[in-house]
Structure formats: structure tokens, C-alpha cells
Chains A and B, each alone.
Chain A
Amino acid sequence: MKARIRFEKKGDLCYVGHLDIMRCFQKAIRRAGFDIAYSQGFNPHQILSFASPLSLGMESEGEYFDGEFNSVLPASEMIKRFNEQLPKELKVTSFRILPENVKTNAMATLKACRYRVDFSYGSPFPGDLANLWDSFSSQSNITIEKKTRTSLSYVDIKPLLLSGICNGDSLTLLLRAGSDVSIKPASVLDAFFEYCGLPFSGEDAFRSGSIHITRLDQFTVVGDKYVSLGEIGEINE
């Protein structure tokens, strides 16, 4: 059976890259003695698939991977045993069994990610953040430069910015994500900073530590609604 695991990645662990986090889970699963399924062949490996990789240096409250298990314990017990084997900054918060008919994995169904951008480390803005954001986001289109190796094009990112709410010193952004089309929070900030006349990019601000970005959750679409990846499936008691 396939299970979906939601976890947090916080504190110093934000400097551990995606592949290393995967290895960390693989080893934790072995230490916990879970009845995980292995691939066939000469070098069997655990059948795990991780959702969208998180940028290095970013914390998250909503990371996901799907794993194929031969048998499981009640969800609360699985979570407890995971967390006994994991560093405290890497914490499993939910364990659900996916319906049998779900053929695709967490990454393939991903449609959006929610981020919180925290400016409380010293606001760089020339005015009130809420006002600036309101006028920025109410533009009919938001065009950014997109550079590739050979060409320079302009893209309207307005349709990818699903929502943005200002709350004190922070912004909460819901952005399109997935294998078809996606946008990074730093790219939205690039456009916003430029609009505010600030001389640095979102990536610069993130890397220098003057803003903090946390991924809050990841979503798929059910019907016409964005639903958290962690709400798919059933909690086995």
C-alpha cells in the first residue's frame, strides 16, 4: 500500500540538500524497522518518491513523500517511530494511506505551493508593506524577464501568483507549482522589489538572510479547489 508522509524541515536542517534528506529518511526507515517495499533487481532500493525539492536554506512546514509499504502500524505509531529516528528539526507530522486508485505520486499531482516571506529582520521597503503589495498585486499583468542561455523573453507571472496576503511584516504567497508550470517565491520578489525601486533581487535578499522564506504547504487540485497534499488519503487508526 502507498502512504503519504508529511514532514517539517526546520532550523539548521535547512542547509541539508534534497538528496541528503532523502538518504536521511531511507536510513531512518531502516532503523525504525518499517516494512517498506523494495524494488526488484540486483540493487533493491526503497520505493519512495519525494514531492517538489525545497531550495537550500529554506525551512518548511509542509514537505511530502510517498512510500510503498508492505504493512503499516496505526498512523500515530508510525509517526512516533519515525520521529524517534529523526533529528528534531526533521519531524513527521502526518501519515496517511493513499487510496488504491491513486496511481500518481506526490510530485505528479502537485499544483501549488504556499510560502511565507518574512521581512521582520528589517524592512527594506520605502513605504508600508501592505500598501505596496496591494498596488503591486493589483496590476493587470506582472511581467518579468526570463533569461535562458540563448534568448531573453518576457513572461507575465500574474496568472502564477494565485494569491498574496500581507500580514504585518510578512507575505503569504500561493504560487503555481508542478511539472508543467511553476514559479519560485524569489522570482515574485524580484518583480516586487523592482516595482518598489529596491536595488537587489529576491534571491540576493534570501541568500543574505535579510528575508526568511518558509514553505508552508503543497497542494493538488481536487475538482476546482486547491487541497493540501496532506489531506489526500485516510488516517489508519
Chain B
Amino acid sequence: MRKLALPHDVLMRVEKPARYLGNEINAVQKTPLDDTVRFCMCFPDVYEVGMSHLGLPIIYDMLNRREDVWCERVYSPWPDLDAIMREREIPLFALESQDPVRCFDFLGITLQYEMCYTNILQILELSGIPLFAAGRTDKDPIVIGGGPCAYNPEPIADFFDLFYIGEGEVSYDELIDLYKSCKVSGKKREQFIKEASKIPGIYAPSLYKVTYNEDGTVKSYEATGGAPDKVRKVVVTDFAAAPYPEKPIIPYIKPVQDRVVLEIMRGCIRGCRFCQAGSVYKPQREKDLEQMLALARRLLGTTGHEEICLSSLSTSDYSRLEPLIRSLIEECNRRKINISLPSLRIDEFSLDVMKLLLDVRKSSVTFAPEAGSQRLRNVINKGLTEEEILDGAGSAFEAGWNKVKLYFMVGQPTETDEDLTAIVELCEKIAKRYYEDIPKEKRNGKIQINASSSFFVPKPFTPFQWASMQNEEEYLRRAYLVKDSFRITLNHKSLHYQYNDAKTSILEGVLARGDRRLSQVIYQAYKNGALFDAWTEYFDFEKWRAAFEECGVDIAFYTERKRSADEVFPWDFIDVGVTKKFLLSEWEKAGLAVTTENCRRECAGCGAARFKGGICFESKNQI
């Protein structure tokens, strides 16, 4: 019988002990043999957040399909358990076997957001694995990172042996086969890492030498030990045939997202210039309709969840959305199952669907204009006009809704004060539309508009990777300007505005476009006590500010500095398909507020066609 790593008295002292049990329904248990490759997949945040993520279950399922691999999970111990583990010297353990992570062959860490970087160090330290890759021996697991933040792995390069650039379905088999053969032939860690660097999508940071210019920018990358000069991301070309978990783990405690997630599409046809996902997941690829319906039925049967979510970057762009939803709705209504449709564009069809799915009195319709003025929406290439927003809102009001949510970004390139007050004007126009279109007796109470903004963070591999950020003072000035403009509106009692923490965005900005010199800063911040930085109640910018000072690293160098067109970026050695030349032309078009068509209407020649799949090879002009 499996014995828990934590004794009774510890489990009784910590909040939500079920986070650490690992015996959930559909969790994979195996009896490991001598040559079983033990893989521990980590989401460096708390269990409920990690268990809501779609990517890890795909890899967990895929790896466990191999008889010679046992893939398990680990999440960040919450601060209460963290303190007990340090005090009692309890090593961090994988959930399924409850065995120490240090005994594993691989520790895979998913990098979903920059603010989890200190949690990576917590995982390593509690596991008893040296924090810096250079200090590891043959007894330590191979630490490999993947996920969106791996597209600029440099700030955390010193902590990782390998990074996986691209989609997990492609190269793991080859990597594990190589690991096994190295183990059999008695090859050392360094040799494995060297050979792994030749596998498509695998980046071994220790094999690359970086030199810097006098001004602090990157001068060059030099590959050594036979590693390729450029690491090209790997993508699934036959997306319909890609494996998908049919028996996902069902947690006991309620995860943030407690539902079946059906990935209907990967990548996005849109070319929003701020969006990293839009670039790095190109080309857009769809799953087959019949396959999705069959999978939906099976997943609802194997999980017993009450909700199914059709997941993608832009669900309205799935070409078979209407038949998919029409078929699902009937079955889900009968089985009392909710359908959740995130990232939906508001139009007649989606409102029809939403009326069937949601209680109009309680739910709200959501728009993400991202910018208030049409000029700025053209700069960011959002592809959404004011007319579309107002018509969408108008139709929603006709259908009975009176709650509207709007998402904006503040601090985007070329933004002026007029663009900021345009946020308020747009909200006012929506409110006006409600009072003009809907006669008093048909109104479902007052209109409620909730606008929220985040501060724009430029990301690698986007046209805005050249953009400068503002300092905290300027961000707050802009947010106050919006807030103050809301206060003097006619409908100010119905309009609500909130903005996020500027310090978090600034730190995210440093880490997103950072280089290898930041590994020391992250280490220092962790030593200063930074942990769970993605949690507002734990985030303490002062710990970070001190770390930057102690390491002599200037925040503004990464955030506010103007980047020239020919600057070598820390992530330039990675090839995501979309070319730097294309991104630069988009950056220049942004400056002129010139838009670019989406992939389905017209190929913009971004470079993703080299992957020979998806939308790049479908006929154009369908919309």
C-alpha cells in the first residue's frame, strides 16, 4: 500500500491537505521497474491552479501511454506546508508515488507566466536539487522547462538543463529514447545534454555562449558542442491525429476550472500585435468536428463534470463552431451540463447560443476591444470596429442582457491621452445605446458596465517586442486619467473601472524580455523571500527591487529603453516560424496605424507556412 509522504500531524496542520494526496480518480499508478523512466511534471503554482491547466494533462497522458515511462505530478507547496517541509526537512515528493522528486529522471516544469519564476526555485530547493544547473550531478534529475515562457528562456536559463521549444506532442518520445540509450551505455549527464540539443525543439542553454555589447545589449550567440545555431520550435502538423487525454484526472478539491476542457483549435488566425500566443502558436489548426463530438461525449462520461469548455485562442474563428455547438447543446441540456465558450466574439449567432446557455439576468456579455479609440485598435491590429462593438452590445440588450464587461490595455505603443479618454467614451456610447434602444418597460434594471484594464507588457516574438514600457508613475497617471474621466460621465453610477497593479506589469516586462543576467536577480529575489509572486497577497515588489539593486541590474534597461530595429534580442536564436523581418514590418505598420488581414482572408507571409500545416494550406477568402 502506498504511504503518504506527509505524516498525519502535518496534513492536519496545513490548509487543504487533499492538495498533497495524489490519489485522485484517473491519476496514473504504475509499478516502476529498474529501467522505467520516472518523469515528474511540475506546474509551479498551487494545486488548484495547476490542475486547471490544459497542457500538462496532454503530456501526462501521452507519456503514460508508454509502458516504460511513469509520469507523475507536483505543484508548489503552499507557504504553510513550505515552512513545515523546511523545518522538518521533508523532501518534496511527486503526488502519485509520493516518492522524492530528487529520485526522478526528469523534472519537467511548465512556464505559463513570468510571475512563477521564484516558485521554480522553491520546487528545486525543496526537492534538494541544486538551483543552478551547473551544480547538478548525475544523481539529479534533468530539469527541463516548456510552455509559453520558454520562448524566451534566457532569464531562467541558469536553472534549467534543457528547454523544450514548441508543442509537447512532438519530441518527447525521441528525448526519452535518447535518455534510455544514454543510461544503458553509461553516458554522463553532459553527454546526454549535448546529444539532446540535436533533437528538434530542444535547447540546452549550457551549450550557448552569449556575448554582450558595451551598451549591455546582446552581441551574439555562439552554439558549442554541436548544438544547432538556431532552435526551431516544433509543432504538431497533423493536429487532428494528436493524442488527447480521454480520462483526465478528477481532483477532489475544487480546481479553479472544474470542467471538461475540449481543445477545438490551436493557434489563431488573428494578428493582434501585442499577442504572443498569436505568434508562437501559429499556424492555426483545427480539430475535426465529428471527432470533437465523440470526444466530448466520452469525456463527460469519464469525468462526470457538469461543465464543458470549448477551448481555443479565439473560439469564434473555429470554422465548424455552429454545427459543433448545435449538436452539443441538445445533449448537454438533457444531461444538465453547462457549455462554456470563452473567447467568443459577440454576434447574432453567439447571442443565440448564449441565450440558450446562460441566464441573461445573471450573466454578462464580454468584449475585449483592448483599446478605446479606433486609431489605437488599428495600431494593435485588433480587427474590431466601434460599430461591431456597439451593434454587438445592442443585440445583447435586445436579447435581455444589461451587464457588459470590457477589457482594455493601457500603455500600448503610440497611446495618447485621447486614446485613454476614448475608453470612457466607448463605455458611454454603450450605455447610451442601452437607454436609447431599450424602452423603459423592457429594461432589466440599470445598465452595468465593468471596464478593466491591465498595463501592456511587450512580449518576445510579437511586433511589439521593440516597444518601450512606461515607468510606474506614468502608468498610474494614465490609469487615474481613465478613472477620473469615468467619474464625470453621465452614467458614472453604472460604469465601473478597475486596473491592475503597475509594479507586477513592470516586473513581468523585465522578465519577459530579459536576458541571462536576470537569473542572478531571480535567485536573489527568492533569497529575499519572494514566492508566489502571481498572488497579490504574497507579491512584494520591495524584495525584487532590493534584488535588482544587489545584483546591479537596471530595471529600466529592460522596460523603458528604446530598442533599435537591428538589435539582437536574447531570444533571437529561437525560430518560431514567424520571422523577425515580418515582425519588424508589422511594428512599422503599427506606427502608421495600418492594419493587416487575418490568415483566413489573406496570407501576410509571416513565415509560419514553413511548418506545412493548418490554415497556411487552406484556401483563402472564406470569410
Contacts and interface: CB of A to CB of B under 8 A. Distances in A.
A16 interface: yes
Nearest to A31: B304
Interface in B1-32: 4, 7-9, 11-13, 16-18, 21, 23, 25
Nearest to B362: A42
Contacts of A23: 252, 254, 258
How many A residues are at the interface, by size bracket? 20 to 34
Given A17-B18, A87-B23, A12 B4 contact: yes
B303 interface: yes
B193 interface: no
A44 B250 contact: no
A207 B258 CA distance: 30
B9 A209 contact: yes
Given A16-B21, A16-B252, A56-B17, A27 B305 contact: yes
A27 B304 contact: yes
Contact of A20 (B7, B12, B18, B303): B18
Contact of B304 (A15, A17, A30, A43): A30
A57 interface: yes
Contacts of B300: 30
A29 interface: yes
Interface in A93-124: none
A85 B302 CA distance: 9
B18 A16 contact: yes
A179 interface: no
Contacts, number: 68
A44 B303 contact: no
Contacts of A31: 301-304
Contacts of B88: none
A15 B336 CA distance: 30
A24 B306 contact: no
A208 B9 contact: yes
B8 A57 contact: yes
A15 B254 contact: no
B359 interface: yes
B253 interface: yes
A57 B11 contact: yes
Contacts of A87: 23, 25
A15 B21 contact: yes
Given A26-B304, A27-B305, A29-B304, A207 B23 contact: no
Contacts of B252: 16, 20-21, 23-24
Interface string B247-273: 000101110001000000000000000
A207 B304 contact: no
Nearest to A27: B304
Contacts of B4: 12
Contact of B13 (A13, A38, A207): A207
A89 B303 CA distance: 18
A23 B359 CA distance: 23
B9 A28 contact: no
Contact of A38 (B11, B18, B304, B336): B336
A27 B253 contact: no
Given A20-B252, A20-B253, A56-B12, A209 B301 contact: no
Contacts of A85: 304
Given A12-B21, A16-B252, A20-B252, A207 B12 contact: yes
A29 B252 CA distance: 15
Contacts of A16: 18, 21, 252-253
From B250, B252, B336, residue with most partner A Cβ within 10 Å? B252
From A30, A43, A85, A208, residue with most partner B Cβ within 10 Å? A30
Interface residues of B, number: 29
B15 to A, nearest CB: 11
A209 B8 contact: yes
Interface in B236-251: 250
Nearest to B338: A43
A12 B304 CA distance: 22
Given A26-B304, A27-B304, A207 B9 contact: yes
Contacts of B21: 12, 15-16
A155 to B, nearest CB: 26
Contacts of B7: 209
Given A16-B18, A87-B23, A87-B25, A27 B11 contact: no
Contacts of A44: 336
Interface string B295-321: 000001111111000000000000000
Contacts of B336: 38, 44
Interface string B489-526: 00000000000000000000000000000000000000
A155 B17 CA distance: 33
B248 to A, nearest CB: 12
Contacts of A21: 252
From B25, B258, B359, residue with most partner A Cβ within 10 Å? B25
Interface in A1-45: 12-13, 15-17, 20-21, 23-24, 26-31, 33, 38, 42-44
Nearest to B251: A20
Interface in B148-170: none
A53 B302 CA distance: 27
Given A57-B8, A207-B9, A12 B23 contact: yes
A115 to B, nearest CB: 17
Given A42-B359, A57-B11, A209-B7, A20 B254 contact: yes
A17 B19 CA distance: 11
A38 B12 CA distance: 35
Contacts of B304: 26-31, 85
Contacts of A29: 304
A34 B8 CA distance: 35
A104 B17 CA distance: 33
Interface in A156-214: 206-209
B8 to A, nearest CB: 4
A85 B26 CA distance: 10
Nearest to B360: A42
A60 B305 CA distance: 26
Nearest to A206: B12
B250 to A, nearest CB: 6
Contacts of A208: 8-9, 12
Contact of A27 (B16, B17, B250, B335): B250
Nearest to B358: A42
A43 B338 CA distance: 9
A21 B258 CA distance: 15
Contacts of B11: 15, 57
A31 to B, nearest CB: 4
Contacts of A26: 304, 306
Nearest to A23: B254
A213 B405 CA distance: 50
A13 B25 CA distance: 12
A101 B353 CA distance: 43
B81 to A, nearest CB: 13
Contact of A15 (B18, B25, B359): B18
Ranked nearest first, the 6 interchain pairs of A and B with the lowest CB-CB distance are A27-B304, A30-B304, A209-B8, A31-B304, A15-B17, A42-B359
Given A20-B254, A24-B25, A30-B305, 4 more contacts: A15-B18, A20-B18, A21-B252, A27-B303
24 contacts: A13-B23, A15-B17, A15-B18, A16-B18, A16-B21, A16-B252, A20-B253, A20-B254, A24-B252, A30-B304, A30-B305, A30-B306, A31-B301, A33-B301, A56-B17, A87-B25, A207-B9, A207-B12, A207-B13, A208-B9, A208-B12, A209-B7, A209-B9, A209-B12
